[in-house]
Amino acid sequence: MPILSFSTLAAGQLRWAVWLALLPLTSACGQATTSQPPVPAAIVLDSATGKVDMPWLRQRLDSSRALRRQQVGVALADATTGELLFGYNAGKDFTPASTLKLFSLYAGLTLLGDSLPSLRYFSRGDTLFFQGTGDPTLLHGDVPSRRAYAFLAGRPEKVLAYCDIACVPAYGPGWTWDDFNYYFQPERTAFPLYGNTVRFYGSAPQLARPRPGAPLQPLPQRVRVAPRAFAPLTAKAGPDFRLSPDQDHEEHVFRAQLDNRFTYLPAPKKWVDEIPYRTSRQLLLRLLGDTLRRAVVGIGPWHPRPGQDSIRTLHGLRADSLYRRMLRVSDNFLAEQLLLMASTQVGYRDSLSGARTIRYLLKNQLRTLPDRPDWVDGSGLSRFNLLTPRTLTALLVRLHQQLPEPRLLSLLAAGGGQGTLRKRYFEPGPPKVTWFWGKTGTLTHTCNLAGYLRCKSGRLVAVTFFNNNILGDDQRTRDAMQWTLSEVRQRL
């Protein structure tokens, strides 16, 4: 075996030491050559226009396979400062669907107080004269108020006299006529009762023996009707009953188009259906009298004597309770009635008119919006509504400036929480983290979203994301919106 000299060992150790010293530099150089390119800035300033932009988001929208065939409009703004951060077809008009309910919210916040006006009245001798204000909460199944009920039931006057007030047609302009049988399109009226709907409760199936020792057999399904006044008008479908090919076979109760005759189909499980009833003055007086257990007469127009009859307004449910229900589950009826109530604070009080409310707001508080909307109803059911993304985002900014942030967000559907966003827009945790609060808008071929996005940095961004002319199922559109907004959340 060769013997290594000291000088040879020293030289080897020196080379080993040099190699170890250079190793970090070599590794760093290798990493530099193989690492990904730097991520571009989330927001850049366009030198030509002086405006901020998000080119990466624009490229993402342009290249999205899920969004490529439909019409897409997006507008993002800082919710606190109002600075517009991004626009994509932001100045083009879209069908807003139920995101329009944010305008109804603004109408209520601007024109109504903390509680809803339930009815107007004055007393003369032994008669109490009263008329409706459009308040939808009297005996409503989801946001019930008994204030008007207790007031009318306990009045000392011998006669309760209901006075007519001019009101809008039962259906709004551009509504779909063949949705009359669905819970989401009750008729608009001056004095709603029970939400202008009937609820049917099919009992759970039960078995019984027709005689001792006989096999168990199913009993006929029992159906409870509320209010009870509609029970005599409800019947089980006979052997000759046939649905048309266009009717929804998943429903249980069907109303005749022009009157209040209801037919139900039994089912092998428990069910609940809610069907609008056809309103009339005669039916209102009957239902109100049955409910109050005292006679109510109708006397025609409202004729208080100037200077002699003191007209007062009875206030009922807190307004936030209605706003919360309207926005979280997208209740069309509450939104429509909200515009009627707001009209009692605008101009003449001899009628209830959502159009009057709309004209007033667009001429006054909303005159500085980026683009004047085509706003025709309170719910967004109408296809006549048109709105640009930047206008709705501007309204979101205004709402954020008008209300304390915790209160505003509490009115909206919350990601992972309640309402139409309960399955999206949250981190599962624990703890679960909501990062979007807003309002959805859905019609056939339409899938929209508007609200507030909480970014990782803590910044709150007002968001409008419109999608119109969608072919087929909108699930891919919903997924694309969530994925896109999650990227915005990470980068802003």
Enumerate domains of the chain plus CATH numbers: 52-110+322-491 (3.40.710.10), 118-204+222-239+248-319 (no CATH)
- Average pLDDT for the chain: 89
Task: Give the model's confidence band at 25: pLDDT under 50 very low, under 70 low, under 90 confident, else very high.
Answer: very low
Reported confidence tier of residue 216, pLDDT bands at 50, 70, 90: confident
pLDDT tens across 298-324, in order? 988 888 888 899 999 999 999 999 999
Quote the pLDDT of residue 38.
54
Say if residue 8's pLDDT is above 70: no
The pLDDT of residue 422 is 92
Contacts of residue 340, Cβ cutoff 8 Å, sequence gap at least 6 = 133, 134, 167, 168, 188, 190, 352, 353, 354, 357
pLDDT score of 19 more than 50: no
- Half-sphere exposure (CA, 13 Å, Cβ side) for 197? 26
Q: State phi, psi for 52 to the nearest 5 degrees.
A: -80, 155
The reported pLDDT for the residue numbered 4 is 39
Q: Is the pLDDT of residue 347 over 90?
A: no
pLDDT > 90: what percent of the chain?
75
| Cβ–Cβ < 8 Å for 172, 322 | no
pLDDT score, position 207: 77
d(CA 193, CA 152): 14
User: What average pLDDT score do residues 4-8 get?
Assistant: 40
Token representation of residue 429: 């945790």
The fraction of the chain above a pLDDT of 70, given in percent, is: 90
Lowest mean pLDDT among 43-52, 155-164, 231-240, 365-374: 43-52
**pLDDT, position 33:** 45
Q: Rounded distance, CA 153 to CA 107, Å?
A: 31
Residue 6 — very low, low, confident or very high, per pLDDT cuts 50/70/90?
very low
- pLDDT of 454 above 80: yes
**For residue 227, cis peptide bond before it (omega within 30 degrees of 0):** yes
Residue 374 structure tokens: 């085509």
Q: What's residue 132's pLDDT?
A: 96
Asked if residue 31 has pLDDT above 70, the reply is no
pLDDT grade for 29, boundaries at 50, 70 and 90: very low
User: HSE of 433 in the Cβ direction (CA atoms, 13 Å)?
Assistant: 11
11 confidence band (pLDDT: 50, 70, 90): very low
d(CA 302, CA 351): 11
Residues written for the chain? 492
pLDDT band at 109 (very low <50, low <70, confident <90, very high): very high
The number of beta carbons lying within 10 Å of the beta carbon of residue 424 is: 18
pLDDT score recorded for residue 209: 75
pLDDT of amino acid 51: 77
Residue 407 has a pLDDT of 97
Q: Given this model, what pLDDT does residue 16 score?
A: 45
Give the model's pLDDT for residue 229.
95
Looking at residues 420-445, what average pLDDT do you find?
93
pLDDT of residue 35: 54
Distance between CA 41 and CA 49 in Å, rounded?
Answer: 18
pLDDT of residue 288: 95
* Per-residue pLDDT tens over the stretch 384-409: 999 999 999 999 999 999 999 999 99
Does position 355 have pLDDT exceeding 80, yes or no?
Answer: yes
b/e per residue, 164-201, with b = 16+ CB within 10 A? ebebbebbbeebeeeebbebbbbbbbbbbbbbbbbbbe
Q: What pLDDT score was predicted for residue 326?
A: 97
pTM of whole model > 0.85? yes
pLDDT digits (tens, 9 = 90+) for 249-290: 678 999 999 999 999 998 888 999 999 999 999 999 999 999
Could you count the other beta carbons within 10 Å of the beta carbon of residue 229? 18
149 closest CA partner among 349, 316, 388, 364: 316
Q: Which of 12-21, 107-116, 390-399 has the least mean pLDDT?
A: 12-21
For residue 137, give both structure tokens. 């909460």
Q: What is the pLDDT of residue 239?
A: 85
Strand partners, 275: 198
